[in-house]
Chains A and B, each alone.
Chain A
Amino acid sequence: MSGLARAVRVLAVGWVLQLKILAVSAFDGILNIVYPLFFATCALLMFRQNGDPQTLVYAGLGAAVMGTWSAMATSASGALQGQRWQGTLELLVTAPTRVALAVLPITAALATVALYSLVATLIWGRVLFGIEVAIVSPVGFAVALLVTLVSLATFGFLLSVTVVRYRTGWALGNLLEYPGWLLCGFLVPLDLFPEWVRWIARALPPTWGMDAIRAAAAGRDPWFDTAVCAGLGIGYAALGAFLSERLIDSARRHATLALT
């Protein structure tokens, strides 16, 4: 088996395994779908007061994608700590493959849960608020959504390895949830923020992904935003792979992998 085929196999098998684990996890599985619904409900109730059906559609789509960030920021930050609690972090790190290939399936599985969250929120908005999100360009929409989720997975991967030596990484993840919801353009247009805040927002893949999804739904050209989102995702994956080797190697060298 070639190196590439082995890598793909590790990613695929790891993704299925992690997805099975998440499927029975009340916190990382079910809550990641339910929790954003409360915030989406609040936001939709607020936008409904406005009385403009178009802004409600804008909010419906944004609220749906909002949950994807939630699944990633909170859970990915605590992903390696979770492995530590279960006593499997050392096994993961000493597996005869690159650390990135062992960790990326965790965040890829979280991104898959995020897709569930998105669909659940779209159905929620349709049933409770009567929001019909018309998708003019289904292909562009599907590609934009897929690229957004993959970019989120790589961003989550970077996040998870960055906090490997931070015992309370989950608290950092919780902290990132609101800023992500605020900055990625899910419910608040970026032009409401000062310029320096917009620069931060533009460094986050979901900002571009959200723009691409909206563009595809409205029938505009989504490809530039999709490409930027993909580029950022690849960049974060490369940075994550680079850091994962160094940070985890450093943790092994200083005997701080277990942290307990």
Chain B
Amino acid sequence: MTGRHEVGARQGGIPAARRGGIRAAWRVLTVGGVISFRGLFNWLNPYIYVPTMLVSPIFQILLFVYIGRSAGVGSDSFYLIGNAVQYASIPCLFAMANTIAGERWMQTLGIVLSTPANRVALFIGRSLPVIANGWFVATFSLFAGARVLGVDLPVSAWPGIALTIAIASASCTGLGLLQAALALRVRSTAVLSNVVFGVLLVFTGTNVALDTVPEWMASAGRLMPLTHAIEACREIVAGASLSAVAPLLLREAGLGAVFAVLGLAALRWVEAQSRRHATLELQ
């Protein structure tokens, strides 16, 4: 991205070479992120997107609402919120794993990893559209699920809900980054994503309040993305203000950041290992 003629020139105290590097990283982050999302996340095909992202979450919500009614526990609102927010994990986990698996499938993984692109910009850029999509899927699920079940979600609660779901999607995408690192070594990324989804379903208080499960499960759940966001969302719908749930949202965002940093570090390390052991192209 840096022209030869620019080297050595200075503008505003920033060396031209560094300025060019920042511009290149910005392009990788924005343009590269959007292009790779469109190219690699083949679920954007409406024949896949509609059944998988828009209809399935409604049925997941209905399944647990009816199991709750059958067992005589919980309320419709409890299961609606838990499952809608938890469903953000499907687009976030699968899309992030696809950033590696998709490249491998297209036989472009080696090309991508041999470019001198800034790795943080590369992977954060790929995360941003994923977060936006996760937010849309979970918000749509909550809205549509509430309409189907006749659950009243106050209009005043929606800004807080939207913010909470955005943080939940970002946090889950952080975990997705860690999973993307694993995808460099694991061939069956779909299996991996499904298993992580299942673990989140059981441990994050989606369908069973954490104070009713064994302590070790609750402790494990509090270290996972979505747990605090689901709790915050339930409190917001119950009438809590944003400031009241701020500690929960901060914990959720903090966890997401930790997972993202771990993911980026793991990506760097596994990439080096994969080059050394010639295991980039696993298939």
Contact = CB atoms under 8 A, between A and B. Distances in A.
B47 A168 contact: yes
12 contacts: A26-B191, A35-B198, A38-B197, A39-B201, A42-B201, A45-B212, A46-B67, A167-B47, A171-B51, A172-B51, A178-B59, A178-B62
Contact of A38 (B51, B52, B188, B202): B202
Nearest to B195: A34
A189 B72 CA distance: 12
B55 interface: yes
A178 B63 contact: yes
Sort A-B residue pairs by CB-CB distance and give the 10 closest, nearest first: A38-B198, A178-B59, A175-B51, A26-B188, A45-B208, A188-B66, A171-B48, A49-B73, A168-B47, A47-B71
Nearest to A178: B59
Nearest to A182: B63
Contact of B70 (A35, A172, A178, A188): A188
A181 interface: yes
A175 B55 contact: yes
Interface string B143-180: 00000000000000000000000000000000000000
A188 B64 CA distance: 10
A167 B51 CA distance: 14
A174 interface: yes
Contacts of A189: 70
B213 interface: yes
Contacts of A166: 47
A181 B213 contact: no
B45 interface: yes
A153 interface: no
A192 interface: yes
A31 interface: yes
Interface of A: 26-27, 30-31, 34-35, 37-39, 41-43, 45-47, 49-50, 55, 59, 166-168, 171-172, 174-175, 177-179, 181-182, 187-189, 192
Contact of B207 (A26, A30, A45, A55): A45
Contact of B73 (A27, A34, A38, A50): A50
Given A174-B52, A189-B70, 18 more contacts: A26-B191, A35-B198, A38-B197, A38-B198, A38-B202, A41-B202, A45-B202, A46-B208, A47-B73, A49-B212, A167-B47, A168-B48, A171-B52, A177-B56, A178-B56, A178-B63, A182-B63, A187-B70
A110 to B, nearest CB: 16
B270 interface: no
A46 B45 contact: no
Interface residues on B, range: 35 or more
B36 interface: no
A45 to B, nearest CB: 4
Interface of B: 45, 47-48, 51-52, 55-56, 59-60, 62-64, 66-74, 187-188, 190-191, 194-195, 197-199, 201-202, 206-208, 212-213
Contacts of B194: 31, 35
Contacts of B190: 27, 31
Nearest to A28: B191
A30, A46, A59: most-surrounded residue (chain B CB, <10 A): A46
B191 A30 contact: yes
B50 to A, nearest CB: 9
Contacts of B56: 174-175, 177-178
A34 B198 contact: yes
B141 to A, nearest CB: 12
Contacts of B63: 178, 181-182
Contacts of A38: 197-199, 201-202
Nearest to A38: B198
A30 B197 CA distance: 16
Contacts of B51: 171-172, 174-175
Contact of B71 (A26, A50, A177, A179): A50
B161 to A, nearest CB: 23
A179 B63 CA distance: 8
A130 B278 CA distance: 47
Nearest to A193: B66
B206 A42 contact: yes
A65 B188 CA distance: 26
A238 to B, nearest CB: 28
Given A30-B191, A34-B198, A38-B202, A46 B73 contact: yes
A171 B206 CA distance: 24
- Report which residue of B63, B191, B202 has the largest number of chain A beta carbons within 10 angstroms of its beta carbon: B63
A214 to B, nearest CB: 14
B67 A188 contact: yes
B59 to A, nearest CB: 3
Contacts of A47: 67, 71, 73
A187 B67 contact: yes
Contact of B60 (A50, A178, A188): A178
Contacts of A179: 59
A35 B62 CA distance: 19
